[in-house]
Amino acid sequence: MGRGKIVIQKIDDSTSRQVTFSKRRKGLIKKAKELAILCDAEVCLIIFSSTDKLYDFASSSVKSTIERFNTTKMEQQQLLNPASEVKFWQREAETLRQELHSLQENHRHLTGEQLNGLSVKELRNLESQLEMSLRGIRMKREHILTNEIKELTRKRSLLHHENLEISRKVQRIHQENVELYKQVYATSNTNGLGHHELVDGANESLVEVRLQLSQPEQSHYETSSNS
């Protein structure tokens, strides 16, 4: 024997109404879960009882589903009503025009133009903005100059070390020449060469070596004095 049809109307008895609500709610949530799993659907169910008690179910998230619903609903309304979309973009264009006008006016104020309509408070705020901008510019300039000074100091130190190394090389070459001419003088006594002739030749050679090796050092000092 099949069940009889239930008249779809409010149940007057509060106890029966609560029992029916509990049974139907559980069955509805079960069906929502099955629909989400079987059909890979995004399902969101929100129920408020007569006593304002909340029951909800969501296959992903209630909040994300509601946001998706609102977005989709708005897009559908715009597609169905092109005039509303035109009005939306008109409002956006008007907002952008107002922002552009405000930026242009602020730029003119910062450059000292069209200040007649400004009050004392507005002029004071404008002055504060300019002072902050100048402070930032000075800080940036000092930062750049400090880095340049550090770089020049590093280069000067590098050139100084190179100069010292060249000086040591010159001294070493000079010492080698002295030792060489001593050996030549020791062996030249048998060949009839005079001591003064060897000394003159050594001095001329040393002068030539010093002149040749002092050119980079002289160029370095000129560069240092110029810098």
Q: Could you read off the pLDDT of 97-115 as tens digits, one per residue?
A: 999 988 888 888 888 887 8
User: Rounded to the nearest 5 degrees, what angle is found at the Cα of 89, between the Cα atoms of 85 and 94?
Assistant: 145
Domain that holds residue 175: 127-186
Kindly state whether residues 32 and 65 are assigned to the same domain.
yes
Kindly state whether residues 88 and 76 are assigned to the same domain.
no
Count of CB atoms situated within 10 Å of the CB of 143: 10
Kindly state whether residues 133 and 178 are assigned to the same domain.
yes
Kindly state whether residues 50 and 64 are assigned to the same domain.
yes
Longest dimension (CA), the chain: 151
For 47, the enclosing helix (H) or strand (E) is: strand 44-48
Residue 218 falls inside a structural domain: no
Kindly state whether residues 110 and 99 are assigned to the same domain.
yes
Kindly state whether residues 15 and 75 are assigned to the same domain.
yes
Kindly state whether residues 32 and 62 are assigned to the same domain.
yes
Kindly state whether residues 74 and 25 are assigned to the same domain.
yes
Residue 36 falls inside a structural domain: yes
Domain final position from 116, 139, 167: 116
Residue 149 CA, distance from chain mean position: 26
Mean pLDDT of the chain: 80
Residue 144 dihedral angles phi and psi, to the nearest 5° = -65, -45
Average pLDDT over residues 17-44: 92
Question: Which of residues 217 and 35 earns the better pLDDT score?
Answer: 35
Q: Which residue's structure tokens are 């001294």?
A: 171
Residue 143 falls inside a structural domain: yes
Cα(117)–Cα(119) distance, integer angstroms: 7
Count: domains in the chain: 3
Residue 196 falls inside a structural domain: no
CA distances from 155 to 142, 166, 224 (A): 20, 16, 10
Question: Which of residues 214 and 122 earns the better pLDDT score?
Answer: 122
Residue 101 falls inside a structural domain: yes
Whether the per-residue pLDDT at 226 is higher than 90: the answer is: no
Kindly state whether residues 92 and 68 are assigned to the same domain.
no
Kindly state whether residues 64 and 94 are assigned to the same domain.
no
Q: Which residue's structure tokens are 């004392």?
A: 120
Kindly state whether residues 149 and 176 are assigned to the same domain.
yes
pLDDT band at 223 (very low <50, low <70, confident <90, very high): very low
Kindly state whether residues 74 and 17 are assigned to the same domain.
yes
Encoded tokens for 200:
């003159």
Q: What is the pTM of this model?
A: 0.36
Cα(16)–Cα(11) distance, integer angstroms: 7
Cα-Cα-Cα-Cα torsion 109, 111, 112, 114, nearest 10 degrees, comes to: -50
Least confident of 33-42, 75-84, 158-167, 198-207: 198-207
pLDDT band at 4 (very low <50, low <70, confident <90, very high): low
Residue 169 falls inside a structural domain: yes
Residue 201 falls inside a structural domain: no
Cα(152)–Cα(146) distance, integer angstroms: 10
Cα(98)–Cα(131) distance, integer angstroms: 27
How far separated are the first and last CA of the chain, in Å rounded? 112
Question: Which of residues 28 and 5 earns the better pLDDT score?
Answer: 28
Mind listing the pLDDT tens digit for each residue in 169-216? 999 998 888 888 888 777 765 555 445 555 555 555 444 444 444 444
